[in-house]
Amino acid sequence: LNAIASSLRSREVTSIDEMRRCLESLPQEVYDRGYAERWSEALVDLLEEKGVLTKAEVLQRIKQMRGAQASPS
């Protein structure tokens, strides 16, 4: 997760200030979750806001990756 956020910052897709804003604007019930969940939600929100990916696209990709892991090689 940190590598993804760092990569996006180094490519100037996002900034630390934008990420902080997204983290701080999460609903309290999401903000109270664990670190990884909180950062994942904020990162997806930011990518969606910038038109990079939608939450649906992210969820679809996760589903594809899980299916690939479950399939025998």
Alpha-carbon span 26 to 37, nearest angstrom: 11
What integer pLDDT is reported at residue 72 of this predicted model? 67
With a cut of 70, which residues of the chain have pLDDT below it? 72-73
Task: Give the residue from 3, 5, 58 showing the smallest Cα distance to 22.
Answer: 5
Rg from Cα positions in the chain: 14
CB of 54 closer than 8 Å to CB of 48: yes
Buried/exposed 34-45: b ≥16 CB within 10 Å, e otherwise: eeeebbbbbbbb
- CB-side neighbour CA atoms (13 Å) of 49: 13
Give the pTM.
0.80
